[in-house]
Chain A
Amino acid sequence: MAVLTDQQRFETWAQYMRENAAPIAVSKPDLRAAVDAIDTYLNDNAAAINSAIPQPARSALTTVQKALLLTAVVAKRYIVGV
């Protein structure tokens, strides 16, 4: 899978700004750079993340299911009280 298209990255950036309710102290270009960097990182490390999932879940879960699982773990680890 390639990185997100420019339009998809734009949509991610725009959605984040619309949904974010907490004070934020970076500019729009800096925030967009963060979106791009995270997307690139996930693209570069997708295989490693997938390999970290033990069997039988790795084979039994679909890509979407594994993405939702990753989202759930990230949310539990880092998104507290939001």
Chain B
Amino acid sequence: MATVTHTLFPEGAQFLTSNFPAYLRNAGTNFPVSGLAYDASTDEAAFWKFIATSYGSGNLSINLYWYADTASSANVVWEAQISAITPNTDTQDVETDGLATLNFVQDTHLGTTGQRVHSCTITMSNLDSIAAGDLCHLRIARDANGTSATDDMTGDAILLLATIAYSDT
């Protein structure tokens, strides 16, 4: 039994025509820091695609690594949704396919340093019947208007990186 992990970089994100996080690249003091800046007042989303190589069973763990642009307290809510298509089997039009019901996590800024890195995990249980080898589209959003839970953190939440992890058995 092993865990399969996919890494999602901000540079690999795709967006719809509106309500998307801005890509930013901060020069940093000693190394560049890139990320997707999710707005504090409007829900914004980014998308990635991957192949569910060797997927076995169980939930997906969407691990998010983020930091606050200006805040040093309060909560941020992240959402994730997936679409899974089995090539050569599913007849669904890929351009009109839907996403499964979202899962979310509420993470709390740990304070002390505003731009410290936080991590949190969305346990994705709405899997759209994912199977090994499926072509998957993943949506990661900030629930800025607090639909799923209270998001009361001011300023942007910047997503540095995300990973998808699942079991191969």
Q: Are A27 and B155 in contact, with the CB atoms below 8 A?
A: no
Instruction: State the CA gap A29–B152 with chains docked (Å).
Output: 7
0/1 string, B144-169, CB within 8 A of A gives 1: 00000001111110000000000000
Chain A residues close to B by CB (< 8 Å): 10, 13-14, 17-18, 20-29, 31
Q: Does B58 contact A (CB under 8 A)?
A: no
Q: Are A24 and B41 in contact, with the CB atoms below 8 A?
A: no
Residue of A with least CB distance to B115:
A23
Q: Does B100 contact A (CB under 8 A)?
A: no
The interface size of chain B toward A, counting residues with CB under 8 Å, comes to 17
Instruction: State the CA gap A26–B152 with chains docked (Å).
Output: 9
Contact of A28 among B42, B114, B154, B156 (CB under 8 A): B154
Q: Are A17 and B74 in contact, with the CB atoms below 8 A?
A: no
6 further interface pairs, Cβ-Cβ under 8 Å (given A18-B41, A27-B73): A10-B41, A14-B42, A17-B41, A23-B70, A25-B73, A28-B74
Q: Are A23 and B73 in contact, with the CB atoms below 8 A?
A: no
Chain B residues close to A by CB (< 8 Å): 39-42, 69-74, 114, 151-156
Q: For residue A1, give the distance in angstroms from its CB to the closest CB of chain B.
A: 25
In the complex, what residues of A have CB within 8 A of residue B156's CB? Answer: 17-18
Contact of B114 among A10, A18, A23, A29 (CB under 8 A): A23
A sample of 16 inter-chain contacts (CB < 8 A) reads: A14-B40, A17-B39, A17-B40, A17-B70, A17-B154, A18-B40, A18-B41, A18-B156, A20-B70, A23-B72, A23-B114, A25-B71, A25-B72, A26-B73, A27-B154, A28-B152
